[in-house]
Structure 1
Amino acid sequence: MRFATDTGGTFTDLVVEEDDGRISMYKASTVPGDPVQGVLAALTLAAKDRGLDLATLLDRGDTFIHGTTHAINAIITGRTARAALLVTEGHRDILTLREGGRIEPFNHSVPYPKPFIPRALTFEVPERLIHDGSVHQPLDEVALAAIIEKLRAEKVEAVAVCLLWSTINPAHELRVGAALAAGLPGVPVSLSHQVNPSLREFRRASSTAIDAALKPLMGRYLGGLEARMREAGFKGKVMVLTSSGGMMPAAEVAANPIRIVNSGPSMAPIAGQHYADLEGNGDSVIVADTGGTTYDISLVRGGRVPMTRELWIGQPTRGHLVGYPSVEVKSVGAGGGSIARVDAGGLLHVGPESAGAVPGPVCYGRGGTRPTVTDASLALGFLDPDFFLGGAMKLDLAGARAAIERDVAIQLGISVEEAAWSIIHLSTENMVQAIADITVAQGIDPAKSVLIGGGGAAGLNSTFIARRLGCERLIIPETGAALSAAGAMMSEVTGEFATSLFTSTARFDFAKVNAALADLTAQCAAFAARTGDPSRPAEPVIMAEARYENQVWDIDVTMPLHRFAGAEDVEHFRRTFDAAHRQIFTIDDPSSAVEIVGLRATIRCQVRPFREFRLDAGTAVVGEESRRAAWFKETGWVDTAIYRLEAMETDRVMAGPCIIESAFTTIVVDPGATVQRSVSGSILIHPAGRA
């Protein structure tokens, strides 16, 4: 038995896989001050469903997979450790000067971003290596000892070290790390050549600073998670989801927390691609995961989940650059808990502020007073106040209507229904714009893509979103309400390794490249040997960070060979790079040499045998079709058919308006659309009414 959890801002999702492959889902409220409590609450629901106590259920499990936003939340809220940064003498302002430009170069009202580690806690180490790794200035051990004394006096909780050219020769960084370990026992240290061996100083320093600042917090969090799981009766492996769409043992993640900054959202594209393939729509897929707090969007093309090294916490150039490979996901502040308000000028706003899990929307009855998207959905009749979370939570319809009337309807001089519809409509427009930004920017017509609606709140307006985008088909997967947790169950144990080097196709250094490739391959093999299943062999994928000569930015290109024997192999790589450059930028430059500035290797070890990923029909509560009034802009209040998702017949086409309910989600199909359930269990919606 395996468990996969995703801890979101409002609910904690749990997917349980039995030994025979049957899947079941559960949701419990997230406890912001203690996320592990929400995890244990969801597991308790799973145990109760099976007539077991929690300890007995956990004793049957062999793997627990955990996705968490704990790291990114800590960065956003400033709850990371008090960390110091050690740099090469003369380069104290790496984090202050940053890289790149400004979003609005002539808007001087926006303050310059503060460095992640303040200048007051940045110390210069007398030493200097040059580009070939040779020593220009030896490391000053006496000065280093004095710096360590200052760090002790400052009571720092973690230390990041980023010295120039340490990716070529790490000797000085290793010596500084050893001195810190001896002089500050128990204080975690992050060395840049180990964290992110990139040639770009700012992103290497930024990655290392974030990694160091997260170590104490994530060490306590993951250690506490594992300890509490053991206390509750779990004896299997505890795995944590990474930003790159895989998972790693919790102990390894605690030592490298930079890997999990984008932990939870990275799984939705993996599940979305799986469900799109099942329906034969895998070429261009927009995966949208709607939670209570955020709307996470990713774009899968040609079966490839997109990766990026440009992951920022906050706005690009204004936030903090993680600089570590991550599944490319764009997040906007829009979700079921997004708060609606009218400003002094009479304009309606929805989000980015969210009611979160505590106090939550007004209708939750937990102290929330400001209307949200969920409250608007309840006021329009989309949600059944007696069947939220399968009846586990009763919703306060009168409270929701009163809040909308007070804060929106009266302010705008419209009815409660019109105000609620306006909230849904504006939330929809925010989401549509976010999808348009990520698709049009890459030259993709969203109308020619399939939209995957994931997350517990996805069904409330995904049909509206698909219609606005012109998508011919919307897919809401069977496990869509817990899409990230489902993706976690499909993920693989992933190892990532990198090295910096420089060579050019014009003067190719065969010895250096082949040595680096051999070292990366060996690291991948060692990782697979200690974490993978020998019966399911895995092959590493090696990417080159390459660019045309004199280009500023590089792109990732799959390395077609793991060893270069001669000029023909170099030309093969050259053609591969040209093709990749042409696909991204529509042009190539065969007359320029290609430079390689780094290599990255990834190995993914399969842990789950290939089989169907279907909800257990035996646990479904089947209900008959019913009806209730729902309000749509086109019709006003209208008698609307209500279907239980589990009871829907396969391939039966039904016309909107109708509402599909399950214990985990509600799907609204508006007038003019058609809906059916596919053989794979997904809900297929054609916004324009085509079946």
Structure 2
Amino acid sequence: MRFAIDTGGTFTDLIVGEADGSLTMHKAPTTPADPVAGVIDVLKVAAAAKGEKLADYLAQGEVLVHGTTHAINAIVTGRTARTAFLTTEGHPDTLVFREGGRQDAFNFTIPYPEPFIPKALTFEVEERIMASGDVRTALNEARLTALLKELPGKGVEAIAVCLLWSIVNPEHELAVGRLIEKHLPGMPYTLSHRINPSIREYRRAMSTSIDAALKPIMGSYMRGLDQRLSDVGFAGRLLVVTSQGGVMDAAEVAEQPVHLINSGPSMAPVGARAYCGGSDTNTLIVGDTGGTTFDVSLVRNGRIPRTRETWLGKPFSSHLTGMPSVDTKSIGAGGGSIAWVDEGGLLHVGPISAGAVPGPAAYGRGGTRPTVTDASVALGFIDPDHFLGGRMKLDRPAAEAAILRDVAKPLGQSVEAAADAIIELATEHMVQAILDITVNQGIDPREAAFVAGGGAAGLNCVAIGRRLGCRKVLVPETGAALAAAGALVSDLVAYHQAMLHATSREFDFAAVNKVLADLEARCDAFRRQIGPDAVFVGIDWATEARYPDQAWEIEVPLRASRFTGDADIAALVADFHKTHQEIFAVSDEASPIETIGWAAAVHCRLGATAPGRMKSHDDKAIGQDRQVYFKDTGWVKAKVASIDALAGDAVIEGPAILESGFTSIVIDPGATVARDGSGTLVIDIGV
């Protein structure tokens, strides 16, 4: 068996790939104070569902894939290691100056963020390597040794090393690494040319700093996770989801924890591509609605876009990670988002969330403030007696009382009107997030399909689709745990990159091909390292290219792993113009291009090559029609049916509610829903 677990802000999701190829889904509340406890809890739920003891159940497991927000949470809460930053003499302000820019360019009252590592822990190293790779100033090892010996007294727990032009000649960084190992044995450290060989100094410095700062806490977390899983009976291979949309061995990722920053959201588009990739549209807009956040991503022509514009918070008001990751946008909108009315009488939803503890008012666990979940209960979207398949009873009167007190009375509305306003505002927040990630890349949502994932996705997926004007809405049968489903079918991926400047008019075939050959050798080493049970899938080649003197690069896929002649250059230039046109709606086909970086992502697969199907769980308790509130109709009688009951050519017209033990799908009046051969719900949203 294979296990895939995604730890969210409210629920921990588990998808189990059974020995016969079928899938089962399970959920358990997340335990924020101890995320590993939530992982074990959801495994207990799965074992109990199969009528087995936990140890016996886990003994059948070959692989466990874990998606975690532990790394980003550590950064946001300031629980990273106290880290020293070593940089070239004369350049101590790399982390201070960043790349400039601010959200509101003319509002000078907004302060710039503090550097990720404070100036008090930034130290200059006497050395200098030039852009050519030549050494201008030799490394002063005696002075550096004296500095290293002072660091423990300053409380330093990790070291980030980022020297100028180490990506061309890493000699000095390697020497620094050897001195750290000699004089501070056991001290975690990161060398910039290894973690992120990027030409942009700030981004390389940030990647290095984040990686070093995370090493102690993520190393401890991974060791603790591995040990506690072993204690309860799991003896298989432990893999962890990375920001690049793949997985890595836990021990390896503990040595490169910067890859974990965007771990959770990166899997939803992988799941959407696996289960909805056969759709008749070239673009999938993927929305993953959990209890705390709404994550938006894309699948374009079968590819999942990546970006280096990954921020640790708000753009320009926080820090860039500098690392390539799946292009996602996250906002504080989900089932647990709290609704409130300000002093001016304006309704807000989120970004504050009730989370798993205390949770929405309907949970009866101490939460008193109204949330999106409470509004859904009050509107009849969620059956209080069938939440999580009946394992958790919800308190509808408590939900209605919270809405009445905090929203309905301040707005002078009825409870149902206030609840509808909460859903409508949450929907608008989600739509704006989608527009940001689509329109900014030249995508017309009207030509795309919206894939709804996450346990709370079905509450307003039709409303989102209508607001965007999408062609249709797709809900995979694994949609309630889409990120975990993506993790189950994801590949082992290693991402390698190198810097080399080249132009299309004066292309250095020998130099470029040497870089590509070196990258391929590193990919081959990864293939040999991961073991014989993995099947090689292939290598995705790409380059970072731009028009001459353009400020920023874009990633362009390469058609082949080597350049053999002018035809290959012409193909690269044509692909660049096309990609630039798709993203920015403009291109200059008469212009040459230049490249500054080359990348290779090697993919290897464990287990099945195709997604499995969910086991049918036709729930006899579902099926009693009930009153549901919609803004345009008021209270109406809606048909309620089990998702599993919708099969063959059956079509259900709205208003209707499709339920399972994990989610409720609201089919608004005027919409229709059917189920295709892969088990995906295909919703025609109507007008």
TM range (shorter): over 0.9
- Decide whether the 8 Å contact of 2:441 with 2:582 is kept in 1: no
Query: In the alignment, which residue of structure 2 is the partner of 1:598?
Result: 597
What is the distance in 2 between the residues matched to 1:274 and 1:568?
33
What is the distance in 1 between the residues matched to 2:522 and 2:102?
39
What is the distance in 2 between the residues matched to 1:314 and 1:370?
25
Shift in CA distance, 584/381, structure 1 to aligned 2, threshold 3 Å: closer
- Quick check: 1:428 aligned with 2:434? no
Q: How does 1:570-589 map onto structure 2 within 5 Å? A: 570-589=569-588
- Decide whether the 8 Å contact of 2:543 with 2:557 is kept in 1: yes
1:505 is displaced (CA, Å) by 3.2
What is the distance in 1 between the residues matched to 2:152 and 2:646?
65
Shift in CA distance, 684/436, structure 1 to aligned 2, threshold 3 Å: same
- Decide whether the 8 Å contact of 2:291 with 2:355 is kept in 1: yes
- Quick check: 1:277 aligned with 2:273? no
What is the distance in 1 between the residues matched to 2:567 and 2:640?
64
- Decide whether the 8 Å contact of 1:424 with 1:461 is kept in 2: yes
Q: How does 1:353-364 map onto structure 2 within 5 Å? A: 353-364=352-363
What is the distance in 2 between the residues matched to 1:579 and 1:422?
42
Q: How does 1:300-339 map onto structure 2 within 5 Å? A: 300-339=299-338
1:253 is displaced (CA, Å) by 0.3
What is the distance in 2 between the residues matched to 1:464 and 1:62?
41
Report the more deviating stretch, 310-319 or 53-62. Answer: 310-319
- Decide whether the 8 Å contact of 2:534 with 2:604 is kept in 1: no
1:595 is displaced (CA, Å) by 2.3
- Quick check: 1:500 aligned with 2:496? no
Shift in CA distance, 576/628, structure 1 to aligned 2, threshold 3 Å: closer
1:357 is displaced (CA, Å) by 0.8
Q: How does 1:176-187 map onto structure 2 within 5 Å? A: 176-187=176-187
Shift in CA distance, 583/685, structure 1 to aligned 2, threshold 3 Å: closer
Structure 2 residue ranges without an equivalent (≥5): none
What is the distance in 2 between the residues matched to 1:290 and 1:47?
26
**Tell me, what secondary structure is at the counterpart of 1:313?**
coil
Structure 1 residue ranges without an equivalent (≥5): none
Shift in CA distance, 586/398, structure 1 to aligned 2, threshold 3 Å: closer
What is the distance in 1 between the residues matched to 2:429 and 2:162?
40
**Corresponding letter in the other structure for 1:339:** I
**Corresponding letter in the other structure for 1:93:** D
Q: Over residues 362-383 of structure 1, what are the superposed CA-to-partner deviations in whole Å (9 max), with x where a residue is unaligned?
A: 1111111111000111111111
1:281 is displaced (CA, Å) by 3.1
Shift in CA distance, 534/33, structure 1 to aligned 2, threshold 3 Å: closer
1:668 is displaced (CA, Å) by 1.1
- Decide whether the 8 Å contact of 2:274 with 2:611 is kept in 1: no
- Decide whether the 8 Å contact of 2:473 with 2:684 is kept in 1: yes
Query: In the alignment, which residue of structure 2 is the partner of 1:665?
Result: 663
What is the distance in 2 between the residues matched to 1:273 and 1:50?
29
What is the aligned residue count?
687
- Decide whether the 8 Å contact of 1:645 with 1:661 is kept in 2: yes
Query: In the alignment, which residue of structure 2 is the partner of 1:684?
Result: 682
Query: In the alignment, which residue of structure 1 is the partner of 2:418?
Result: 419
**Corresponding letter in the other structure for 1:226:** D
Q: Over residues 661-681 of structure 1, what are the superposed CA-to-partner deviations in whole Å (9 max), with x where a residue is unaligned?
A: 110001111222212222322
- Quick check: 1:652 aligned with 2:650? yes
1:596 is displaced (CA, Å) by 2.4
Shift in CA distance, 582/533, structure 1 to aligned 2, threshold 3 Å: farther
**Tell me, what secondary structure is at the counterpart of 2:433?**
helix
- Decide whether the 8 Å contact of 1:133 with 1:169 is kept in 2: yes
**Corresponding letter in the other structure for 2:211:** D
Q: How does 1:378-527 map onto structure 2 within 5 Å? A: 378-527=377-526
What is the distance in 2 between the residues matched to 1:535 and 1:426?
46
- Decide whether the 8 Å contact of 1:82 with 1:156 is kept in 2: yes
What is the distance in 2 between the residues matched to 1:254 and 1:682?
36
Q: Over residues 4-56 of structure 1, what are the superposed CA-to-partner deviations in whole Å (9 max), with x where a residue is unaligned?
A: 00000000000001122010000000001111111111111111111111111
Q: Over residues 626-648 of structure 1, what are the superposed CA-to-partner deviations in whole Å (9 max), with x where a residue is unaligned?
A: 11222221222222221111222
Shift in CA distance, 424/522, structure 1 to aligned 2, threshold 3 Å: same
- Decide whether the 8 Å contact of 1:350 with 1:426 is kept in 2: yes
Shift in CA distance, 582/397, structure 1 to aligned 2, threshold 3 Å: closer
1:584 is displaced (CA, Å) by 3.4
Q: Over residues 458-510 of structure 1, what are the superposed CA-to-partner deviations in whole Å (9 max), with x where a residue is unaligned?
A: 11111111111122311111110000000001100101111112233343333
What is the distance in 2 between the residues matched to 1:302 and 1:557?
14
What is the distance in 2 between the residues matched to 1:20 and 1:299?
31
1:587 is displaced (CA, Å) by 4.3
- Decide whether the 8 Å contact of 2:489 with 2:609 is kept in 1: no
What is the distance in 2 between the residues matched to 1:204 and 1:471?
39
What is the distance in 1 between the residues matched to 2:578 and 2:376?
48
- Decide whether the 8 Å contact of 2:442 with 2:583 is kept in 1: no
What is the distance in 2 between the residues matched to 1:585 and 1:111?
30
Query: In the alignment, which residue of structure 2 is the partner of 1:191?
Result: 191
Report the more deviating stretch, 461-470 or 203-212. Answer: 461-470
* TM-score normalised by length of structure 1: 0.97
Shift in CA distance, 545/624, structure 1 to aligned 2, threshold 3 Å: closer
Shift in CA distance, 583/381, structure 1 to aligned 2, threshold 3 Å: closer
Query: In the alignment, which residue of structure 2 is the partner of 1:110?
Result: 110
Query: In the alignment, which residue of structure 2 is the partner of 1:242?
Result: 242
- Decide whether the 8 Å contact of 1:296 with 1:330 is kept in 2: yes
1:547 is displaced (CA, Å) by 2.1
What is the distance in 1 between the residues matched to 2:444 and 2:239?
37
What is the distance in 1 between the residues matched to 2:50 and 2:44?
10
- Decide whether the 8 Å contact of 1:117 with 1:209 is kept in 2: yes
Q: Over residues 225-277 of structure 1, what are the superposed CA-to-partner deviations in whole Å (9 max), with x where a residue is unaligned?
A: 11111111111110001111110100110000111111111010111122323
What is the distance in 2 between the residues matched to 1:609 and 1:370?
44
Query: In the alignment, which residue of structure 1 is the partner of 2:148?
Result: 148
Query: In the alignment, which residue of structure 1 is the partner of 2:41?
Result: 41
- Decide whether the 8 Å contact of 1:181 with 1:187 is kept in 2: yes
**Tell me, what secondary structure is at the counterpart of 2:536?**
coil
What is the distance in 2 between the residues matched to 1:506 and 1:469?
43
**Corresponding letter in the other structure for 2:119:** R
What is the distance in 1 between the residues matched to 2:590 and 2:676?
51
Report the more deviating stretch, 138-147 or 19-28. Answer: 138-147
1:534 is displaced (CA, Å) by 7.1
- Quick check: 1:3 aligned with 2:3? yes
- Decide whether the 8 Å contact of 2:441 with 2:584 is kept in 1: no
**Tell me, what secondary structure is at the counterpart of 1:613?**
coil
What is the distance in 2 between the residues matched to 1:561 and 1:283?
23
Query: In the alignment, which residue of structure 2 is the partner of 1:372?
Result: 371
- Decide whether the 8 Å contact of 2:2 with 2:18 is kept in 1: yes
What is the distance in 2 between the residues matched to 1:585 and 1:100?
22
- Decide whether the 8 Å contact of 1:493 with 1:532 is kept in 2: no
**Tell me, what secondary structure is at the counterpart of 1:424?**
helix
1:426 is displaced (CA, Å) by 0.8
Shift in CA distance, 569/455, structure 1 to aligned 2, threshold 3 Å: closer
- Decide whether the 8 Å contact of 1:21 with 1:611 is kept in 2: no
Q: Over residues 297-330 of structure 1, what are the superposed CA-to-partner deviations in whole Å (9 max), with x where a residue is unaligned?
A: 0122211111111111111121121111111011
1:546 is displaced (CA, Å) by 2.0
What is the distance in 2 between the residues matched to 1:398 and 1:27?
25
**Tell me, what secondary structure is at the counterpart of 2:527?**
helix
Shift in CA distance, 194/624, structure 1 to aligned 2, threshold 3 Å: closer
Report the more deviating stretch, 234-243 or 638-647. Answer: 638-647
- Decide whether the 8 Å contact of 2:9 with 2:356 is kept in 1: yes
**Tell me, what secondary structure is at the counterpart of 2:441?**
coil
What is the distance in 1 between the residues matched to 2:247 and 2:188?
23
1:651 is displaced (CA, Å) by 2.7
1:201 is displaced (CA, Å) by 0.3
- Decide whether the 8 Å contact of 2:472 with 2:685 is kept in 1: yes
**Corresponding letter in the other structure for 2:426:** S
- Quick check: 1:25 aligned with 2:19? no
1:535 is displaced (CA, Å) by 7.8
Identity %: 54
What is the distance in 1 between the residues matched to 2:534 and 2:433?
43
What is the distance in 2 between the residues matched to 1:480 and 1:214?
31
1:162 is displaced (CA, Å) by 0.4
Shift in CA distance, 400/624, structure 1 to aligned 2, threshold 3 Å: closer
**Tell me, what secondary structure is at the counterpart of 1:442?**
coil
